[in-house]
Amino acid sequence: MAAVSTAVPLPVTTGFEPRPRRGGRVVGTARVVIFVLFAAYYLMPVVAAFEFTVRGTTGYNLSSWAYILSQPDLTATLGLSLKIAVGTIAISLLMMVPTVVWVHLRAPRLRRVIEAVSVLPLVIPAVVLVVGVLSAFQGLPNVIKGTPVILSLEYVILAMPYTYRVLDSGVGAIDLKTLVEAARGLGASWLEVLLRVIVPNLRSSILFSAFLTLALVLGEFTMASLMLFNTFPVWIVQVGQSQAQGAVAVSIFSLVFAWFLLFAFSLLGARRRGSRRRRSA
């Protein structure tokens, strides 16, 4: 997963920039072609999968969709997965934002080490992670061990490669040291520096990191299955064992649901920026 920085300020345009001429038209056409190719590459499997879900013996129908929507476990499993996702996002951000900021400010030499450590969850098999987490958290109370909280803790580790990279590039895009020193000099405590200066300037990175974690939780099957939690992905697999078209329909549903959440996150960021501008206008 590539690290994405969305905290880079957009260039200020005056509205009087010269228009691109002949070369610009070629570039514009090339952009459209590339966009269409990529859109086709990504959408064709989804369209094909959708076609499969509505294919019947005598024609097209929505019976598989009606089937999954009638399943009582849909909302229960989806609800559980969303709760786990919210918990995972909260723990991840509470841990990672101060850590990334601290590393950038006080231990920049450790960045490479932490970066290397952060990718370990990608190469360690899920079974090993599950066993490792269970062993490590053996002494914890049952309210953690016996509930989805333990799954959230596992997903925090699993999401670390993505959250670390997104936050790291976000922090790298701002002049952290100067902003922190300016805020400290003006009387801000460390908590105030974090909440009033750093977090607002990392909003895009934080939102993107939260979305990646959410997408991961909504799609993770192995750990949840091994730990006997009936999450949304586990339920999809169960449905697939009895109703193949239903399983594909649920997968498309989860994909569309994830897209919807992505747009909601983007909208949230844009609305906050917009309302701030309106307030100050």
Partner 1 sequence: MTTVPSTQPGQASARDRVGAVAAGAVARERSGSSVELRGLRRSYGSVVALDSLDLALVPGELVALLGPSGCGKTTALRLLAGLEQPDAGHVLVDGVDITGRPANRRDMGMVFQAYSLFPNMTAEDNVAFGLRMRKHRASERRARARQLLELIGLDHHAQRYPHQLSGGQQQRVALARALAIEPTVLLLDEPLSALDAKVREQLRDEIRRLQMEVGITTLFVTHDQEEALSMADRVGVMSSGRLEQIDSPDVVYSRPSTAFVAEFVGAMNRLPARATEPGQALVLDTPVSLDPDSHLPMGAACEVLVRPEAVAVEVDPSGVWTVVSRSFRGGLTRVVIAGAPVTGSGEDLTIVADLTSAVATGMTPGVRVRARVTSQRLMLAAPRAAAA
C-alpha to C-alpha distance for 83 and 95, rounded to whole angstroms:
18
Tell me: does residue 62 bind partner 1 (CB under 8 A).
Answer: no
Tell me: does residue 88 bind partner 1 (CB under 8 A).
Answer: no
Q: Which stretch binds partner 1 (CB under 8 A): 50-58, 147-155, 185-193, 243-251?
A: 185-193
Q: Which stretch binds partner 1 (CB under 8 A): 111-119, 147-155, 187-195, 251-259?
A: 187-195
In the complex with partner 1, the residue whose CB is nearer, 98 or 219, is: 98
Q: Which stretch binds partner 1 (CB under 8 A): 61-69, 71-79, 137-145, 172-180?
A: 172-180
Q: Are 157 and 133 in contact (CB under 8 A)?
A: yes
Stretch 257-276 residues interacting with partner 1 (CB under 8 A): 276
Tell me: does residue 51 bind partner 1 (CB under 8 A).
Answer: no
Stretch 225-264 residues interacting with partner 1 (CB under 8 A): none
Q: Which stretch binds partner 1 (CB under 8 A): 8-16, 20-28, 113-121, 154-162?
A: 8-16
C-alpha to C-alpha distance for 1 and 172, rounded to whole angstroms:
18
Burial of 143 (0-12, 13-18, 19+ CB in 10 A): exposed
Which residues are registered as beta bridge partners of 60?
55
Tell me: does residue 138 bind partner 1 (CB under 8 A).
Answer: no
Report, in Å, the least distance between residue 273 CB and partner 1.
9
Tell me: does residue 12 bind partner 1 (CB under 8 A).
Answer: yes
Tell me: does residue 135 bind partner 1 (CB under 8 A).
Answer: no
Q: Which of 184, 222, 230, 262 binds partner 1 (CB under 8 A)?
A: 184
C-alpha to C-alpha distance for 260 and 255, rounded to whole angstroms:
9
104: which residues sit within 8 A by CB, 6+ positions away?
111, 168, 171, 172, 176, 177
C-alpha to C-alpha distance for 201 and 192, rounded to whole angstroms:
13
Which among 92, 104, 42 has a CA at the least distance from the CA of 208?
Answer: 92
Q: Which of 57, 138, 178, 242 binds partner 1 (CB under 8 A)?
A: 178
Stretch 191-220 residues interacting with partner 1 (CB under 8 A): 192, 196-197, 200-201, 203
**Token pair in block for residue 47:** 């369209």
In the complex with partner 1, the residue whose CB is nearer, 144 or 195, is: 195
In the complex with partner 1, the residue whose CB is nearer, 111 or 184, is: 184
Torsion angle of the four alpha carbons 268, 272, 278, 281, in this order, in degrees rounded to the nearest 10: -150
Only one residue has tokens 């990279």, namely 165
Q: Which stretch binds partner 1 (CB under 8 A): 24-32, 117-125, 183-191, 224-232?
A: 183-191
Q: Are 165 and 3 in contact (CB under 8 A)?
A: yes
**Token pair in block for residue 126:** 């899920």
Instruction: Number of residues interacting with partner 1: please give it, by CB under 8 A.
Output: 26
Burial profile 1-33: b = 16 or more Cβ within 10 angstroms, e = fewer: eebbbbbeeeeeeeeeeeeeeeeeeeeeeeeee
Residues that bind partner 1 (CB under 8 A): 9-10, 12, 174-175, 178-179, 181-189, 192, 196-197, 200-201, 203, 276-277, 280-281
